Amino acid sequence: METTAVGSTSPYRPRVLAVDMDAGDAERVRSILTPAGYDVMRARGTTAALEAVSRQSADLVLLDVGQARTVGLAAFRRFRQEMTHPQLPILMLTPSADRQTRREVMEAGVDDLLTTEPLDPMELKVRVHTLLELKAHREQGGIQEVLQDPRTRWVRMEKLARVGTLAADVATQMGQLGVGLHRALAHVRARAAEGLPPDPEELLKLGVAGEQMRLHGQHLLSLGPSNPKDTQRFDLRELVPEVVSHLRADGRLGRADVRVILSEDPIAVVFNRRQLEQVVTELVCNAVDAVEDVQDRPRIVHVGVEMPDMFGDFGPQLFVKDTGIGIFEDELQAIFSPYYTTKAPEKSVGLGLTVARTLVECMGGKLTVKSRVNLGSTFTVELPEQTSSW
């Protein structure tokens, strides 16, 4: 993120102030951010940090704390109260933090929170870039009122962090695939120049890499910016059969018997329809793959929607239930990790469930799974409660 200052021919390098960070950690941060176009400065203690902000006009603060919820919030509140630049974003660094801690920290007003054990270089750069974009938006007087609500702001920043990190990871993998494609193509050209056919193994590699590039591109598009037209008010019951119909027309349901189960009453929701369709697509395709090798029972996939709880305990739900091979207990959480897959490379890059969970959580919902080996699995999407009515 480099800009050129007025009256200067050299690009402006945003300045990042590392507060209460020891020498080793500061050097690690500097080695990540300096090549990316940032200058990193250190300050010991809140007083020194405030002086540095006033003197050097830092663009962003990295507040390094041992515990986010206690020590971190105390340091943040003092820093924010005495800071003369309210637009200055603060990224809190902490060794670890669970989801509840993240929520409390963000509701307290911290702009973002990043865990450092381990510190992911790509994620740090994405978070810093995102916060500097937020700073520019603030300075232009563009803060929307919705951002002033702590819970809404937390959801928005959580979305930016998750989507930004995953998108950066996908882009990196696509770059590596591109290198492989170039090598395979060079082999084909060299053999052709000699009047020889290409090696079958190299051709197979070329085909697999091409399919993986397509899958990565598809996932990257689903994580991309939303078109305002994609956020619609619709009946949730209409979405599921449409997705299943499209998958059947594309020949992606294989030998599975996919059955749709719908409630009798309409379920009015307001969501990004395109992204919700992507979630259902990923879950159905995952279920179809799970039943593909089943021999001792019917290959059935149930896809349906359920009404929200009348007492407000949960919102509308989507579910995908299969009679497939099931998932071992120690793998239940690993299946949502990026690039975790048991499928052949030409069929999956291990991002489908990761993307599905990311999109669901960005909507304010959650994606869970229950499974029994050799009996099947059930994936449930619990969406936030809606107030819409027809």
Domain spans of the chain? Answer: 3-143, 170-222, 228-382
Range with the largest mean pLDDT of 79-93, 149-163, 182-196, 319-333: 319-333
**Whether the predicted pLDDT of 227 surpasses 60:** no
* pLDDT of amino acid 31: 92
At 170, the pLDDT band (50, 70, 90 cuts) reads low
Per residue in 1-35, pLDDT (tens digit) is 444 444 444 567 888 988 888 888 889 999 999 98
Average pLDDT over residues 287-312: 87
Which whole-number Å values give the CA distances from 47 to 24, 54, 78, in the listed order?
Answer: 22, 11, 10
Residues 6+ apart with CB under 8 A from 220: 167, 170, 171, 174
What is the CATH architecture assignment of 228-382?
Answer: 2-Layer Sandwich (3.30)
**3-state class (DSSP) for residue 328:** coil
On average, the pLDDT of the chain sits at: 77
CATH number of 3-143: 3.40.50.2300
DSSP single-letter state for residue 250: T
Spatial separation of the C-alpha atoms in residues 166 and 374, rounded to whole Å:
32
In DSSP terms, which residues pair with 42 in a beta bridge?
A: 18
Rounded to two decimals, the pTM is: 0.49
pLDDT-derived band at 307 (thresholds 50, 70, 90) equals confident
Model confidence at 239: pLDDT above 70: yes
| CB-CB contact of 379 with 283 (8 Å) | yes
Q: Fold match between 3-143 and 228-382?
A: no
Q: What is the pLDDT of residue 128?
A: 86
Percent share of the chain, pLDDT over 70: 71
- Residue, of 334 and 170, whose pLDDT is higher: 334
